[in-house]
């Protein structure tokens, strides 16, 4: 997905918005002016453009290389002479992110979501990711008075709530509502499994047609309008705008409005139609999910783990990673970690693969809590930290005899790259912090850092995860007898690597 897949909506008589939620936040369209006729044409840009528009004032034209957008833009600007306030999103840097909290209530089978917005924000529309919204109830709390708002059922993946009710009475309430820090509560019944979810996808050739559908069917049907361009796509057939509706019940209505639109009720039909290989589609589908903008959604089939050992659930696809020429994932390595640690819990501590990324993120919390303070890592003889580098490579950092006077940090890399100082520094920082927590009497130890010379993986192989497992295994067996710095390029052989894969 690139950022340029943009949707420019040109509307007739109402505010248009692009449903483009950020991954982690609901996007909330906020207007700055309290009262405004939402009845003019509006160019909508992507976030970046929009921010620029906010900064520069809406009448300044932003030079962009996209000719079409510019054309539409300038047309619009020419037509709509009075300067309108530009809607901005809460996600822009100077606006604080709304705080979202969910309340899970088992007894009532209700999930309540509270979104706290800042003072002054007048919410016109809220787009929030959600799977199935059967029926829900949105309330605004203002001076302890609950205000019912008109709510819209949007669809399977998103819902939006329009808090501005056309009813005049409510309008007034909402203007005062904006004076306080307000909380919107959304309450909904627990959704059913997404697997059952039925949706139809409509492909139309232009955004105008998409817009027509949207207008005719209204909020009740629209989920998303997306300019879908699949990567490596030469077939112009499959380019277009996709609209996904929550239910196939709407097909008759749609075919009435747009007789030429193609509709697909299932993803497989979509495959068929676009003649793209399923892998490309699913890749773009998942990419779209990852960047949070797409609503063409594959049902998520959560795999059931087939083995669970000490909380590490291994699924079939994890096991498939043990076949040759497959990269190992964290699950497999952690599983092996648990296995190795099983009989050596007294002397050895091996961290999970989740440890290091979290250490990077929230150092002091991790250092204080992981492992639990009752675990004395300085009583151990060997500490090992498997670390993932950029999601492509595994390395291992071992701390030999942390209890001794001269502990050694051994950096093990099956590609023999140079030691990455920031990793070792982090580990030492952690050790020192732990030292302070566990035994604050003495000054921190001095660690000597060494790079181990170890069997290396072959060029082009994807075995580093296996090498890490093997290193760990051998460290456990031999850490006492090894001489440091380690110089054992033939510690184990290629065949052992294969064996290890099988063994794991």
Partner 1 sequence: MADQEQPTKNEGGETGGEQSDNHLNIKVNYEGNEVFFKIKKTTPLKKLMEIFCKRQGVNQDQMRFVFDGNRLTGTETAEQLDMDDQDTIDVLVQQTGGF
Return phi, psi of residue 8, to 5°.
Answer: -110, 120
Minimum separation from the CB atom of position 349 to partner 1 (A): 11
Minimum separation from the CB atom of position 404 to partner 1 (A): 24
Cβ pair 381, 454 in contact under 8 A: no
**Strand runs labelled E in 362-461:** 382-389, 393-400, 408-412, 448-451
Neighbour-count burial for 316-335, b at 16+ CB within 10 Å, e otherwise: eebbebbeeebebbbbbbbb
Smaller CB separation from partner 1, 257 or 287: 287
Q: How many Å is the maximal CA-CA distance in the chain?
A: 83
Smaller CB separation from partner 1, 101 or 176: 101
Smaller CB separation from partner 1, 84 or 321: 321
SS3 of residue 271 by DSSP? helix
Smaller CB separation from partner 1, 389 or 453: 389
Cβ pair 435, 378 in contact under 8 A: yes
Minimum separation from the CB atom of position 77 to partner 1 (A): 35
Cβ pair 455, 467 in contact under 8 A: yes
Minimum separation from the CB atom of position 78 to partner 1 (A): 39
SS3 of residue 322 by DSSP? coil
Smaller CB separation from partner 1, 68 or 104: 104
Smaller CB separation from partner 1, 334 or 473: 334
Minimum separation from the CB atom of position 475 to partner 1 (A): 19
Smaller CB separation from partner 1, 122 or 321: 321
> Can you list the pairs that 303-309 forms with residues at least 24 positions away whose Cβ atoms lie under 8 Å?
309/335, 309/338, 309/339
Minimum separation from the CB atom of position 72 to partner 1 (A): 29
Smaller CB separation from partner 1, 164 or 454: 454
CA distance linking residue 241 with residue 205, whole number of Å: 6
SS3 of residue 146 by DSSP? strand
Minimum separation from the CB atom of position 463 to partner 1 (A): 7
Here the tokens at position 456 are: 């290396």
Minimum separation from the CB atom of position 103 to partner 1 (A): 4
Cβ pair 99, 116 in contact under 8 A: yes
SS3 of residue 367 by DSSP? helix
């Amino acid at each position: 997905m690139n950022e340029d897949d943009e949707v420019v909506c040109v509307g007739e008589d109402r505010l248009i918005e692009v449903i483009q939620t950020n991954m982690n936040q609901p996007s909330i369209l906020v207007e700055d002016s309290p009262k405004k006729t939402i009845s003019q044409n509006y160019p909508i840009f992507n976030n970046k453009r929009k921010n620029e528009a906010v900064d520069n004032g809406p009448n300044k034209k932003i030079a962009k290389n996209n000719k079409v957008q510019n054309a539409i833009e300038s047309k619009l600007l020419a037509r709509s002479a009075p300067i309108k306030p530009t809607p901005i999103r809460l996600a822009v840097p100077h606006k604080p992110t709304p705080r979202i909290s969910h309340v899970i209530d088992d007894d009532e089978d209700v999930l309540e979501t509270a979104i706290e917005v800042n003072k002054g924000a007048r919410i016109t529309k809220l787009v929030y990711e959600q799977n199935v919204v059967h029926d829900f109830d949105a309330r605004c709390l203002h001076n302890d008075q609950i205000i019912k708002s008109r709510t819209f059922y949007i669809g399977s993946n998103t819902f939006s709530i329009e808090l501005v009710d056309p009813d005049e009475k409510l309008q007034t309430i909402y203007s005062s509502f904006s004076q306080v820090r307000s909380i919107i509560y959304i309450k909904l019944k627990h959704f059913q499994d997404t697997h059952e979810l039925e949706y139809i996808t409509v492909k139309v050739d232009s955004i105008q047609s998409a817009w027509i559908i949207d207008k005719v069917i209204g909020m009740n049907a629209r989920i998303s309008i997306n300019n879908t361009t699949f990567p490596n796509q030469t077939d112009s057939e499959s380019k277009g705008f996709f609209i996904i509706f929550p239910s196939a019940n709407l097909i008759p209505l749609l075919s009435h409005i747009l007789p030429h639109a193609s509709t697909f009720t299932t993803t497989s039909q979509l495959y068929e139609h676009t003649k793209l290989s399923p892998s490309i589609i699913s890749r773009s589908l998942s990419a779209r999910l990852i960047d949070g903008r797409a609503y063409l959604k594959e049902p998520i089939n959560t795999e059931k783990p087939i083995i669970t050992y000490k909380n590490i659930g291994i699924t079939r696809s994890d096991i498939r990673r043990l076949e040759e020429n497959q990269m190992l994932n964290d699950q497999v390595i952690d599983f092996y970690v648990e296995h190795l640690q099983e009989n050596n819990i007294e002397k050895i501590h091996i961290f999970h693969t989740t440890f290091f990324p979290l250490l990077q993120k929230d150092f002091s919390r991790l250092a204080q809590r992981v492992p639990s303070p009752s675990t004395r890592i300085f009583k151990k003889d060997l500490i090992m930290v498997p670390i993932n580098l950029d999601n492509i490579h595994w390395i291992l950092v071992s701390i030999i005899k942390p209890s001794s006077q001269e502990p050694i940090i051994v950096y093990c890399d099956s590609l023999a790259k140079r030691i990455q100082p920031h990793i070792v520094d982090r580990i030492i920082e952690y050790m020192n912090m732990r030292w302070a927590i566990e035994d604050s009497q003495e000054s921190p130890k001095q660690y000597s850092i060494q790079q181990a010379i170890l069997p290396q993986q072959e060029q082009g192989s994807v075995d580093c995860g296996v090498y890490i497992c093997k290193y760990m295994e051998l460290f456990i067996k031999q850490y006492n007898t090894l001489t440091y710095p380690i110089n054992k390029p033939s510690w184990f052989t290629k065949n052992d690597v294969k064996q290890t894969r099988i063994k794991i």
